[in-house]
Structure 1
Amino acid sequence: MALSPFHLAIPVYDLPTARSFYGELFGLEEGRSSDHWVDFDFFGHQLVIHEHPKTTSQEAAHTNAVDGHDVPVPHFGVVLGWEEWEALAERLKARGTEFVIEPYVRFKGQVGEQATMFLFDPCGNALEFKAFKDMSQLFAK
């Protein structure tokens, strides 16, 4: 399956702190930038953080129940290879990352079994990183 890179622009109310979070915690390479926004290579996709006043969803995330956990909405993220996901989870834990939902495998033994973890960036944007041992299960019902 050939995928096209997506472009996602998100609001951040503290550009220097968000820049450090994405650049240092995840090791994302910077692209173009200005005094008000920064492009990042987000696992092959274009993530842009734009300076913007705090939004309602950044102040208090809404949640929906999924597999017994309160999943923050909205959220964004990326589907990684299983080993890459495991390495990221270990790196984040080693750095003392505060998770909204700790890394775990959900829907065990079911269609769509997946590893997942959720965290917030310093500006309240929710991120999810997930992986499937069987990528053909990505859209399985």
Structure 2
Amino acid sequence: MKLTPFHLAIPVRDIDEARDFYGTKMGFSEGRSTNEWIDFNMFGHQVVTHLNPNIGKDGKVQSIHNHVDGHGVPVPHFGVVLEFDEWQKLADKVRGFIDEFLIEPYVRFEGQVGEQGTMFFCDPSGNALEFKAFRDIESELFAK
């Protein structure tokens, strides 16, 4: 299966705050931008932050939580599936600036089909991100 980049547009409450979080802290390179949106390269995928002034400076994007492996998983959420070593490096990096994880980095479904490293945290606007990893993405990503 040949994977192709996805495109995702998300609301943010402040463009400069999004630039700092996604660009400076996460280290995603910036593409095109205006005063109302910014393209970021998230591991080869196009994530676009769009200003939504209705969120408000103190507001957050609303979500619900569904039970998965003993944790409340936020919905909606988005992210990228990484190689396990790359996921571990990212987990180490984000620990330096994420004050509160929704779900701390850990191995989910340990010893079972679908075993994966996962972590959840929010951007400053409340968009939930999940980064996960499999030891063999090709055989494990959709395994039942």
Q: 1:137 aligns with which of 108, 125, 140?
A: 140
Which residue number corresponds to residue 44 of structure 2?
44
Task: Tell me by how many angstroms 1:2 deviates.
Answer: 1.6
Over the matched positions of the two proteins, sequence identity in percent amounts to: 60
Query: Structure 1: which 4+ aligned runs deviate by more than 6 Å?
Result: none
Give secondary structure in 2 for the equivalent of 1:20. Answer: helix
**In the superposition, relative to structure 1, how do residues 20 and 3 fare at CA in structure 2: closer, same or farther (>3 Å)?**
same
Query: For 1:73-129, what per-residue CA distance to the aligned partner results, in whole angstroms no more than 9, with x for missing partners?
Result: 000000011100000001111335421000000000100000000000000100000
Which residue number corresponds to residue 77 of structure 2?
75
| Cα distance in 1 for residues equivalent to 2:80 and 2:11 | 18
Task: Tell me by how many angstroms 1:59 deviates.
Answer: 4.5
The Cα RMSD (Å) is: 1.6
1:1-141 superposed matches below 5 A:
1-52=1-52, 53-54=54-55, 58-135=60-137, 136-141=139-144
Give secondary structure in 1 for the equivalent of 2:94. Answer: helix
**Amino acid corresponding to residue 12 of structure 1 in structure 2:** V
Would the aligned equivalents of 2:31 and 2:40 in 1 still touch at CA under 8 Å? yes
| Cα distance in 1 for residues equivalent to 2:113 and 2:15 | 40
- Equivalences, count: 140
Task: Tell me by how many angstroms 1:49 deviates.
Answer: 0.2
Task: Tell me by how many angstroms 1:58 deviates.
Answer: 3.6
Give secondary structure in 2 for the equivalent of 1:78. Answer: strand
Give secondary structure in 1 for the equivalent of 2:95. Answer: helix
**In the superposition, relative to structure 1, how do residues 34 and 59 fare at CA in structure 2: closer, same or farther (>3 Å)?**
closer
Relative to the length of structure 1, the TM-score reads: 0.94
Give secondary structure in 2 for the equivalent of 1:35. Answer: coil
**In the superposition, relative to structure 1, how do residues 97 and 43 fare at CA in structure 2: closer, same or farther (>3 Å)?**
farther
| Cα distance in 2 for residues equivalent to 1:40 and 1:32 | 8
Runs of 5+ consecutive residues of structure 2 not aligned to the other structure: none
Task: Tell me by how many angstroms 1:34 deviates.
Answer: 0.4
